[in-house]
Amino acid sequence: MPSEKILAAKKQVVADLVASCKDSASFVFVAARGFTVLQDTEMRSEIRKNNVTYKVVKNTTLRLVFKELGIEGLDDMLVGPTAVAYSDDIIAPAKVLANYAEKIAVLEIKGGIIEGKAASKSEIETLAKIPSKEVLYSQVVYGLLYPITKLAMLIKAVAEKDGASAPEAATEDVAPVAEEAPVAEAEAPVEAAPVEG
């Protein structure tokens, strides 16, 4: 039987994880074995860039943590070596790990938690396909601005068309006057020539 000191240390680990996880919007569980050092280093770097926390934790500890958080239905996922990734950004953990699961054959997504409820592997993979918040915001802004932009382009095209036809009309009005003036000047010397003779 473990000593009181060991039990107290385990309780502290669980309490620390509960404090770290309680505000997270989603969790992703992956099979954590068989990575090369390079693969693990690259993946952890990308995970940090996306403000995701990633830890390899014993399944018994994870069960205690999620029991404290009131989340059930994780027993099938918490088998074998397990790592957990979590964040307050609901999409980020799924997106980063799904991306690396395509690159690293031994990285297998087991499932996860989305907004306090157990989620299957397929639900996590579907979540990973949703665009990031930044992309979604830009799509919304584009959707709102597109009709205005289209209207502005249409007005500009009409203005350019009217502007192009206006000078042509002015040239047509002026041209006949310019042609008539030389004819009148040419006729005057012809009439004057017979008078002298």
Helices of type H across the chain: 4-21, 37-49, 59-68, 92-103, 121-128, 133-196
The pair of three-digit structure tokens given for residue 114, joined into one six-digit string:
């989305």
Count the domains in the chain. Answer: 2
> What's the pLDDT score for residue 114?
92
d(CA 163, CA 130): 47
Out of 102, 130, 158, a domain closes at: 130
> What's the pLDDT score for residue 11?
87
Decide if 21 contacts 86 (C-beta within 8 A): yes
Residues 140 and 118 in one domain: no
Residues 73 and 30 in one domain: yes
DSSP letter at 51 equals: T
Predicted confidence pLDDT, tens digits, the chain (197 residues): 567 888 888 888 889 888 988 889 999 999 978 888 888 899 999 999 999 999 998 999 999 999 989 998 898 899 988 999 999 999 999 999 999 888 888 889 999 999 889 999 989 999 888 876 666 667 777 777 777 877 778 888 888 887 665 555 444 554 454 444 454 444 445 544 555 54
CATH of the domain at 107: 3.30.70.1730
Residues 80 and 142 in one domain: no
| Residue environment code for 158-190, b if the CB has 16+ CB neighbours within 10 A, otherwise e | eeeeeeeeeeeeeeeeeeeeeeeeeeeeeeeee
> What's the pLDDT score for residue 145?
75
Residues 180 and 140 in one domain: yes
Residues 77 and 144 in one domain: no
Out of 90, 114, 130, a domain closes at: 130
> What's the pLDDT score for residue 96?
92
Residues 125 and 136 in one domain: no
Helix axis angle for 37-49 and 92-103, nearest 10°, is 160
Residues 48 and 60 in one domain: yes
d(CA 102, CA 106): 10
Range of the domain at 148: 131-197
Out of 130, 164, 188, a domain closes at: 130
Residues 65 and 148 in one domain: no
Helix axis angle for 4-21 and 59-68, nearest 10°, is 60
Residues 8 and 66 in one domain: yes
